[in-house]
Amino acid sequence: MNIPVELDPSIDDQAARAAWLYYVGGLTQDQIAAEMGVSRQRAQRLVSRAVAAGLIHVRLNHHLASCQELETALRTRFHLVRCRVMPGLGPDRDPVRAIAPAAAAELERVLREPEALVIALGTGRAMRGMVEAVGSIEAPQHCLVSLIGNIAPDGSASYFDVIMRLAEKVHAPHYPMPVPVISDTAEENATFQSLGPIRKVRELARAANVTFVGVGQMSDDAPLLTDGFLKPAELREVQGAGAVGEVAGRIFDAEGRYLDLAINRRLGGMQAPPTRPDRPVIGIAAGPSKIPAIAAALRSGILNGLVTDEATARGVLAL
């Protein structure tokens, strides 16, 4: 007979319990305070801590008619195998917030497949948001592989760190790409790419059953620029060459054709695998400035799956 008694529950336990009572039980914070024997303020802090720590997940269980129509329109127009359009959150809010839960649901759907799959992942804010929104789920049968180098220009080894965080959550084997996202010289990059272990990772990624990637715009607010992978002069140069977007660091033009650029030879990681109906490559992206990039990637079939928000979906369809 081993009946556990509550001695010193961790702060997260307390927070989770408070949030549970608040959101699921519908108690007021006063009642929670009484129930848990703490002050009301502490109850309030516990609830907000649980929310901040992502212990609580809210999901919409209803397909808005307007979003469904957009999904259908995108699906048929671009021959998508997966498509999710979420309601927007208003013009001046981070659209990642809107699409992260849906992207996470999409990823969870894949993770729940019983047979072993290779899941390739890009990086970026949307990817990170997606992984953060993934719930606790065990998926040790799958294999997670990164498309993109994880060494940032400043030498730090964790550009968003999408693979690691996800692997930690689902306890799956994972293969980060331990090369610079972008090397200083083509030679340095070639050296990295020729290393045996890295070739292995590349082979694995090439055979990915499902791929999740962000989509970067190449306008003046390009993530490649913001994150320091391109210098302003380089950005202007590729803009001149017709660049409108980028997936896994590979830059393409308005028709979604990959461009043959000098910087390509310095790029680590690898291009997203080619799309096939049974090998979806799903873009997770939203925001007005990304519209041309998303449209281009869909047009040429770099992507055959998309999770986005309402406003972006409309924008893409209007192009």
Q: For residue 140, how many other CB atoms are within 10 A of its CB? A: 11
- Span 99-158, contacts to DNA by CB under 7 A: none
Segment interacting with its own copies (CB under 8 A) among 21-29, 210-218, 219-227, 250-258: 21-29
Residue 233 interacting partner from its own copies, DNA, none (CB closer than 5 to 8 Å by kind): none
Distance of closest approach, residue 12 Cβ to its own copies, in angstroms: 6
User: Which of 11, 28, 41, 112 is in the footprint of its own copies by CB under 8 A?
Assistant: 112
Q: Which of 11, 63, 158, 262 binds its own copies (CB under 8 A)?
A: 63
* Three-class SS state of 200: helix
Q: Residue 223: which of 93, 110, 127 has the closest Cα?
A: 127
What gap in Å lies between CA 57 and CA 265, rounded to an integer? 42
Residues in 81-100 at the binding interface with its own copies, rule: CB under 8 A = 86-87, 89-90, 93, 97-98
Q: Does 187 bind its own copies (CB under 8 A)?
A: no
| Secondary structure class of 142 (helix, strand, coil) | coil
Q: Is 12 in the site for its own copies (CB under 8 A)?
A: yes
Residues 31-60 that bind DNA (CB under 7 A): 38-42, 44-45, 47-48
Whose structure tokens read 């929104």? Answer: 133
Contact yes or no for 132/56 (Cβ under 8 A):
no
Residue 200 C-beta: closest distance to its own copies, Å: 30
- Indicate the burial class of 114 (C-beta count within 10 angstroms; 0-12, 13-18, 19 or more): exposed
Could you say which of 4, 37, 240, 277 contacts its own copies (CB under 8 A)? 4
Cα–Cα distances (Å) from 150 to 32, 201, 316, in that order, read 44, 13, 30
Sole binder of its own copies in the list 37, 114, 155, 277 (CB under 8 A): 114
From edge to edge, which strands make up the β-sheet containing 174-180? Answer: 82-86, 305-309, 281-284, 210-213, 118-121, 143-151, 174-180
According to the binding rule CB under 7 A, does residue 13 interact with DNA?
A: no
Least distance to DNA from the beta carbon of 43, Å?
A: 8
Whose tokens are 């290779």? That residue is 118
90 binds, among its own copies, DNA, none (CB under 5 to 8 A by kind): its own copies
The residues, ordered by sequence, that sit 6+ positions from 59 with a Cβ below 8 Å of its Cβ are 101, 105
Closer residue to DNA in complex, CB, 45/202:
45
Residue 279 · residue 256 · CB < 8 Å: no
Q: What is the dihedral of CA 151, 120, 223, 229, to 10 degrees?
A: 30
Contact string (CB under 8 A) for its own copies, positions 216-235, x = contact: --------------------
Q: Nearest-CA neighbor of 130 among 158, 157, 169?
A: 169
Q: How far is the CB of 96 from its own copies (least distance, A)?
A: 11
Q: How far is the CB of 67 from its own copies (least distance, A)?
A: 9
Nearer to its own copies, 58 or 233 (CB): 58
Contact 51, 18 (CB under 8 A): no
Length reported for the chain:
319
The stretch among 54-62, 154-162, 175-183, 220-228 that binds its own copies (CB under 8 A) is 54-62
Rounded Cα distance, 181 and 150, in Å: 6
Binding site for its own copies (CB under 8 A): 1-4, 6, 9-10, 12-13, 16-17, 19-21, 23-27, 31, 35, 50, 54-66, 69-70, 73, 86-87, 89-90, 93, 97-98, 101, 112, 114, 135-136, 314, 317-318
Binding site for DNA (CB under 7 A): 11, 22, 28-30, 38-42, 44-45, 47-48
